[in-house]
């Protein structure tokens, strides 16, 4: 038996901040003391708090250490493991706690979270099926095997689960359509082609709890009468794919995949298809085409995949998070428990990838209906550097922008739709006063424009024309008619594009025009970008009254455009300045002003 378990976050976020090096240093230190065998070290799933990685959680002591470095390991081993003393300097500290926080229950980031989908992430070894079974895994599947398939669909409907991949369609209803579709051969497909910039919810689930996806797919297979499934996962997720392969091999060994599973006469085979990373392959019909070996392009619906999907057979497609919810619903009493969380129209929890100008970035799983304010200020810890919250982009490039005035909007499918955004897969990009909304719209549209598959004219040509207009506005050559043209183009693209990606890609433009029209008008009429982002539309000036001559700006300026003596106000040579913004980031006094081109500093505030 082990004295302690050291769960190191081995998900991609912490790996990129060096958790593998921390693990190596830890192992080396334990070996140095001849203690390696006393401790179990697991590179496990993601605890969500990427901002403070690398993270090690020690059990049974229940101590959460964060922001660790390899050089910290000797101290951690000596003090905590050998002397039994908690190392306070590795505990979570921040403006939201009075004293260093020891464990999840005292860290504010976790206070409003509810772990359904992420229930095992960071607690189990994702490469050990036994641990998944210990956490109640495969019990729901065993129960489903003894049920009538249509009764499974009914339970999922009663629970109120809606697809977590974007559109939010009723999962149980989708399953029922496939169940009732004629045909002996049917398929289950898991959409793990997570492509929204900044979104990594699905990757985290796949890496931290792969058996949950397998169990969800097995239950779906039983419900719709399928004997084969595909997981379509992008090749950029090598760790997720590796863990899925291990999970499939283990499930086969245990008789949970294959023929006559658990003696119920149910057969199910699971395949992994690696995607090449095209954003459009997240659209279900393009994804099916890609699995079939064709070019990943959408096709018109109907027929819907439930009638004619993979290889022309009835097919149910759900995304990773949707499948991860299913075992919770199918366990004894699970449907009622699931439905007890959330709002009338949006049940359960939702995992969000919190990014942007918020203090606590990472993954969070919160009950549906939580407000934007709670996510940003309670979970996210507020805006970085004490700046003002301006807006949040919900739902990735297909989503929309919600302004600060709607900070108390509950996050659920219907409220987000009404506000002009969508739930999408769960990306939340938080913006402060330094974000230019025209530039934001241009960024997301440039993404969808580049990723447009080109099959239908409205998306292929329409997004290009819209992007040209946004480029013009950002460069100071926009004309007042541009806003009407953008509106009209957006309406046409939404109405006539072939697939969901085309139909939703104007959303960032429409929502920013809806809520931040004055910023567009300022760019067009005054040739001014108040956020200081569109380089053609502003200059930087140093506030001579506030500048203390600390030289921080001058030292960081890459083109030596800032002149001035120490302890005397500095000045910017406008001819040299490239408006890179380095000085703004560095100035401790906030004395760099954003000023319209051709005007002096004293005209702005």
Partner 1 sequence: MQKFIDHCCEKCTHTRENPCKDFIHCCIDGPICHENPSCSLKRQDIIKKVALNDRFVIC
What angle (nearest 5°) sits at the alpha carbon of residue 473, between those of residues 471 and 474?
A: 65
Residue 297 and residue 451 in contact, taking contact as beta carbons nearer than 8 Å: no
- The residue (of 7 and 153) whose beta carbon lies closer to partner 1 is 7
Q: Which stretch binds partner 1 (CB under 8 A): 128-136, 417-425, 432-440, 474-482?
A: 128-136
128 binds partner 1 (CB under 8 A): yes
Binding to partner 1 (CB under 8 A) within 23-62 occurs at 40, 59-60, 62
Separation of alpha carbons 519 and 15, rounded Å: 39
Q: Give yes or no for a contact between 188 and 316, defined as CB atoms under 8 angstroms apart.
A: yes
Tokens linked to 429? 């990009």
Told to check if 138 binds partner 1 by CB under 8 A, we report yes
- The correct pick among 183, 258, 277, 564 for binding partner 1 (CB under 8 A) is 258
Q: What span, in angstroms and rounded, lies between the C-alpha atoms of 281 and 481?
A: 35
Query: Taking phi first (over 0 means left), then psi (-120 to 50 degrees means alpha), and beta for anything else, what does residue 551 get?
Result: left
Decide whether 124 or 391 has the Cβ nearer to partner 1.
124
CB-facing half-sphere around the CA of 452: CA atoms within 13 A: 26
* Residue 130 makes contact with partner 1 by CB under 8 A: yes
CB of 121 to partner 1, least distance (A): 13
d(CA 256, CA 142): 9
Binding-site string for partner 1 from residue 379 to residue 418, where x marks contact by CB under 8 A and - marks none: ----------------------------------------
- Which residue, chain included where needed, has tokens 């990606």? 501
Question: Among 161-169, 258-266, 344-352, 409-417, which window interacts with partner 1 (CB under 8 A)?
Answer: 258-266
Structural tokens at position 388: 């003002």
Please choose, from the candidates 225, 220, 230, the residue with its C-alpha nearest in 3D space to the C-alpha of residue 293: 230
The yes or no reply on residue 262 touching partner 1 (CB under 8 A) is yes
Of 16, 260, 340, 485, the one binding partner 1 (CB under 8 A) is 260
Q: What is d(CA 537, CA 478) in angstroms, rounded to the nearest whole number?
A: 12
Residues 530 and 152: their CA atoms lie apart, in Å, by 55
Closer CB to partner 1, residue 145 or residue 556? Answer: 145
Smallest distance, partner 1 to C-beta of residue 179, A: 23
CB of 133 to partner 1, least distance (A): 5
CB of 269 to partner 1, least distance (A): 13
As a dihedral over the C-alpha atoms of residue 6, residue 214, residue 217, residue 264, rounded to 10 degrees, the angle is -120
Q: Shortest approach of partner 1 to residue 145 CB, angstroms?
A: 8
Question: Of the candidates 3, 31, 151, 264, which one interacts with partner 1 according to CB under 8 A?
Answer: 264
The least distance separating partner 1 from the CB of residue 72, rounded to whole angstroms, comes to 22
Give the CA distances from residue 316 to residues 39, 223, 232, 309, in Å, rounded to whole numbers and listed in that order: 43, 10, 13, 8
Residue 131 as a binder of partner 1 (CB under 8 A): the answer is: yes
255 binding partner 1? (CB under 8 A): yes
In angstroms, the Cα distances linking 388 to 376, 495, 543 are: 12, 36, 21
Element spanning 431, H or E:
strand 427-432
- Mark the segment that binds partner 1 (CB under 8 A) among 65-73, 249-257, 487-495, 566-574: 249-257
CB of 57 to partner 1, least distance (A): 9
Interface residues toward partner 1, by CB under 8 A: 1-2, 5, 7, 40, 59-60, 62, 123, 125, 128-131, 133-136, 138-139, 141-142, 145, 252-255, 258, 260-264
């Amino acid at each position: 038996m082990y004295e302690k378990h050291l769960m190191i976050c081995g998900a991609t976020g912490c790996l990129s901040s060096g958790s593998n090096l921390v693990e190596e240093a830890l192992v080396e230190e334990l070996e140095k003391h001849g203690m390696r065998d006393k401790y179990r070290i697991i590179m496990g799933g993601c605890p969500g708090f990427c901002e403070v990685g690398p993270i090690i959680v020690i059990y049974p002591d229940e101590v959460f250490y964060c922001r660790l470095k390899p050089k910290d390991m000797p101290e951690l081993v000596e003090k905590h493991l050998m002397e039994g003393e908690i190392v306070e300097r590795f505990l979570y500290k921040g403006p939201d706690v009075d004293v260093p926080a020891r464990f999840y229950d005292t860290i504010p980031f976790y206070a409003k979270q509810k772990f359904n989908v992420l229930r095992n992430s960071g607690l189990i070894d994702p490469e050990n099926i036994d641990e998944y079974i210990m956490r109640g895994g495969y019990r729901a599947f065993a129960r489903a095997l003894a049920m009538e398939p249509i009764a499974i669909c009914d339970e999922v409907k009663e629970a109120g689960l809606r697809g977590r991949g974007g559109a939010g369609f009723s999962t149980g209803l989708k399953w029922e359509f496939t169940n009732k579709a004629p045909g002996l051969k049917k398929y289950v497909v898991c959409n793990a082609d997570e492509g929204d910039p900044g979104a990594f919810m699905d990757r985290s689930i796949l890496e931290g709890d792969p058996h949950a996806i397998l169990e969800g797919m097995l239950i779906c297979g039983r419900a719709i009468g399928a004997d084969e499934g595909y997981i379509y996962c992008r090749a950029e997720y090598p760790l997720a794919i590796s863990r899925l392969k291990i999970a499939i091999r283990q499930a086969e060994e245990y008789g949970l995949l294959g023929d006559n599973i658990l003696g119920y006469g149910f057969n199910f085979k699971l395949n992994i298809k690696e995607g090449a990373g095209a954003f459009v392959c997240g659209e279900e019909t393009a994804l099916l085409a890609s699995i079939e070996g064709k070019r990943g392009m959408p096709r018109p619906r109907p027929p819907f995949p439930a009638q004619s999907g993979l290889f022309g057979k009835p097919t149910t497609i759900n995304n990773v998070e949707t499948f991860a919810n299913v075992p919770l619903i199918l366990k004894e009493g699970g449907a009622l428990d699931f439905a007890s969380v959330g709002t009338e129209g949006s049940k359960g929890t939702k995992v969000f990838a919190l990014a942007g100008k918020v203090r606590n970035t990472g993954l969070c799983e919160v009950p549906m209906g939580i407000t934007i304010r709670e996510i940003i200020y309670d979970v996210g810890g507020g805006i970085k550097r004490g700046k003002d919250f301006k807006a949040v982009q919900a739902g990735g490039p297909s989503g929309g922008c919600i302004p600060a005035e709607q900070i108390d909007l509950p996050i659920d499918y219907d409220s987000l739709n009404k506000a002009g955004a969508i739930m999408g897969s769960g990306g939340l990009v938080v913006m402060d006063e330094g974000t230019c909304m025209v530039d934001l719209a241009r960024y997301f549209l440039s993404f969808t424009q580049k990723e447009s598959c080109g099959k239908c004219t409205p998306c292929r040509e329409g997004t290009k024309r819209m992007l040209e207009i946004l480029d013009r506005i950002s460069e100071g050559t926009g004309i007042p008619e541009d806003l009407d043209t953008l509106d009209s183009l957006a309406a046409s693209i939404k109405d006539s594009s072939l697939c969901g990606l085309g139909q939703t890609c104007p959303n960032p433009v429409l929502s920013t025009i809806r809520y931040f029209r004055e910023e567009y008008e300022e760019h067009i009429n005054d040739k001014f970008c108040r956020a200081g982002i569109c380089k053609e539309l502003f200059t930087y000036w140093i506030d001579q009254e506030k500048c203390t001559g600390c030289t921080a700006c001058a030292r960081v300026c890459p083109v030596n455009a800032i002149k001035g003596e120490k302890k005397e106000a500095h000045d910017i040579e406008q001819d040299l300045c490239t408006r890179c913004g380095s000085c703004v980031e560095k100035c401790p006094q906030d004395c760099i002003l954003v000023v319209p081109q051709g005007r002096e500093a004293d005209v702005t505030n």
